[in-house]
Amino acid sequence: MKQILKNSTRLLLMVVAVASTNLLFAGEPDSLRQHTSLSSEKIVHLKTVWDGSANAASLQFFDIRQKIGKATLNYNYENGDLHRYQQERKLNETGFFTNGYVTLKRWKFYGNFNYSNSKNEAVNWIDVLNPYNDNPYIMADSIGGTYHKEFFKMRAKAAWQINNRFIFGVDMNYKAGVGARRKDPRPKNTTTTFNIAPAIIFTFNKIKLGANFRYQTSKEDIEITTVTDSVYDYFNMKGLGAFSVSTEKDRRSHESNLFGGGIQMGYTGNKISNLTEASFFRKATDIKRGVSFPLQVVLLENYTTGIASTFMFLHNKNTINKIKIHFTDNHIYGHEPVVEPKLEQHSYQWETLAKYTLYWHNRQQYGVDYSYYKLVNANHFNWGTTLAAQITNSQTTYYFVPETNEQSLNYFQIKGAFEKEFQTEKNTLVVSINSSYRKGFNSSYKIVSDKILLETVHSELVKHDFNYFNNPLVQVGGSFQFGRIIHLYKSPVQLFFSGRYSRLIAKTDNKNRDIFELKLGVNF
């Protein structure tokens, strides 16, 4: 924990330095009389096809002409049972977020800091901080309870215009978290993640060619304790409800290393601009239990390939007309070892005899996103709309002997939103409405029929999560943001207050979930 706080402090100072520089030096002297509005950051991202690119050097293509910065206090509340395992029934979360952009001669910088503290009530069958991270090999118990979680997240990005041809960039992310449940059995979690992605872009007239490399390392430690002499069952989940059970309170660690990269090709024309990007990474997660002589539980390999192409049509200073087409392919393999104890110097160690791939998962996602906005200037828009559609196909198998658990899960999702901004000399109001619809099709699952094998399968968990994705899920909601200009030390800033409400309506047993979000902050 001391090391986490030490690293958090270092990165916090870096982010504060970026934000402070943004406040003091961003833009021309006249721009110090300007301020960031409710829509400034949104418009900066809308006006470039490089928005969302993994190449950090693309920050040079963001239209950052004046200071952009904000700080907010956040409160999130969620309540409702969607009949899904591993999801809390009630969430209370508070936090603080700040970010800023700055241009200094040939450099452009971005930095942010986010702190959150949450209370997750009525959590079952999960003893890790993030249950939905494409890792089925999680530790769980059937008692459950309330989880208290705390996260620090920091990011720093820089892009250097070396000359007219070359741009160098680097993107760094750091995340640290702790979590605990104050009810026997009591898991205590600590997690850290560090990500670095250097990048370069070569510019030749209207063509831009880029490449980036990405390395990430992360670790989560889980320590189980009790304050009574009671004995509990601990479940090692394996995928599609398969599990093994133990009463040993072994420490467990999930340690991951990710390597990958991407290439980009951009084109800027008078009538159309385009960015096409391809990326690939391999993530290996080594899961072990025990302290003195850790025993490997599984080696989980995750291979992901992504391709995306973004087009901007007939763009000018008053209109944004952008469409993005994307595809992602994901393969996950769980290699489970066969081990035996080996006596060595009066201490039991473990020797791996063989490894078998018992968990297999493949998922493809096809999507298209469309945005249309009418702009007033660099800080305000008149109105805008976004539409998105995505199809997901997945196949999952867990191998027993001689049977298998199998699942084919296919579903589509449609999202839409409309925003309108109203502006006076000192006041700004942005209102929006949004909705989405998700429905499964041609999906199926099969659970082993052998009675002995069936004893090691949590069939209700498989059934409920299958129904959650296969049955209709409707989301409706809206939001507002209200800001007012005030002056601090003769410089204008915008105080703002925002609220968002969404309702998720699951057709599975007619379950609903309400989501509220409140923010109080300042744009500077």
Per the CB < 8 A criterion, the answer to whether 418 and 435 are in contact is no
Whether the pLDDT of residue 465 is over 70: the answer is yes
Q: What is the mean pLDDT of residues 64-68?
A: 83
Q: What DSSP state is assigned to residue 457?
A: B
Q: Which of 25-34, 52-61, 213-222 has the lowest mean pLDDT?
A: 25-34
Whether the pLDDT of residue 2 is over 90: the answer is no
Q: What is the mean pLDDT of residues 349-365?
A: 87
User: Which residues neighbour 382 within 8 Å (Cβ) at sequence distance 6 or greater?
Assistant: 374, 375, 376, 420, 421
Question: For position 14, what pLDDT does the model report?
Answer: 43
Q: What is the pLDDT of residues 359-376, one digit of tens each?
A: 999 999 999 999 999 999
Question: For position 343, what pLDDT does the model report?
Answer: 62
Maximum average pLDDT range among 1-5, 96-100, 204-208:
96-100
Question: For position 312, what pLDDT does the model report?
Answer: 96
Domain parsing of the chain, residue ranges: 2-523
Residue 5 banded pLDDT, cuts 50, 70, 90: very low
Per the CB < 8 A criterion, the answer to whether 122 and 144 are in contact is yes
Whether the pLDDT of residue 495 is over 80: the answer is yes
Whether the pLDDT of residue 15 is over 50: the answer is no
Q: What is the mean pLDDT of residues 490-505?
A: 94
Question: For position 346, what pLDDT does the model report?
Answer: 52
Residue 421 banded pLDDT, cuts 50, 70, 90: very high
Q: In the chain, how long is the greatest CA-to-CA distance?
A: 80
Residue 308 banded pLDDT, cuts 50, 70, 90: very high
> Cα–Cα distance between 462 and 439 in angstroms, integer?
18
Question: For position 82, what pLDDT does the model report?
Answer: 82
> Cα–Cα distance between 315 and 158 in angstroms, integer?
27
Structure tokens at 303: 């291979």
Question: For position 489, what pLDDT does the model report?
Answer: 79
Position with higher pLDDT, 401 vs 216:
216
Residue 338 banded pLDDT, cuts 50, 70, 90: confident
By residue count, the chain amounts to 524
Question: For position 10, what pLDDT does the model report?
Answer: 43
Q: What is the pLDDT of residues 252-299, one digit of tens each?
A: 999 999 999 999 999 999 889 999 999 999 999 999 998 877 888 999
What counts of helices (H) and strands (E) characterise the chain? 4, 22
Q: Which of 154-158, 195-199, 301-305, 377-381 has the lowest mean pLDDT?
A: 377-381
Whether the pLDDT of residue 166 is over 60: the answer is yes
Q: Which of 32-46, 291-305, 426-440, 446-460 has the lowest mean pLDDT?
A: 32-46
How far are the Cα atoms of 43, 256, 257, 285 from residue 282, in angstroms, in the given order? 34, 10, 8, 10
Helix (H) or strand (E) holding 197: strand 186-204
Q: What is the mean pLDDT of residues 55-78?
A: 94
Q: What is the mean pLDDT of residues 239-243?
A: 94
Residues of the chain with pLDDT > 70: what percent?
91
Q: What is the mean pLDDT of residues 469-485?
A: 96
Q: What is the mean pLDDT of residues 12-40?
A: 50
Question: For position 34, what pLDDT does the model report?
Answer: 60
Q: What is the pLDDT of residues 449-461, one digit of tens each?
A: 999 999 999 999 8
Question: For position 317, what pLDDT does the model report?
Answer: 78
Question: For position 444, what pLDDT does the model report?
Answer: 97
Q: What is the pLDDT of residues 67-79, one digit of tens each?
A: 899 999 999 999 9
> Cα–Cα distance between 331 and 191 in angstroms, integer?
24
Maximum average pLDDT range among 17-26, 222-231, 341-350, 406-415:
406-415
Residue with tokens 């700080």: 71
Alpha helices in 417-505 (DSSP H): 451-454, 459-470
Whether the pLDDT of residue 191 is over 50: the answer is yes
Number of other residues whose CB lies within 10 A of the CB of residue 157: 22
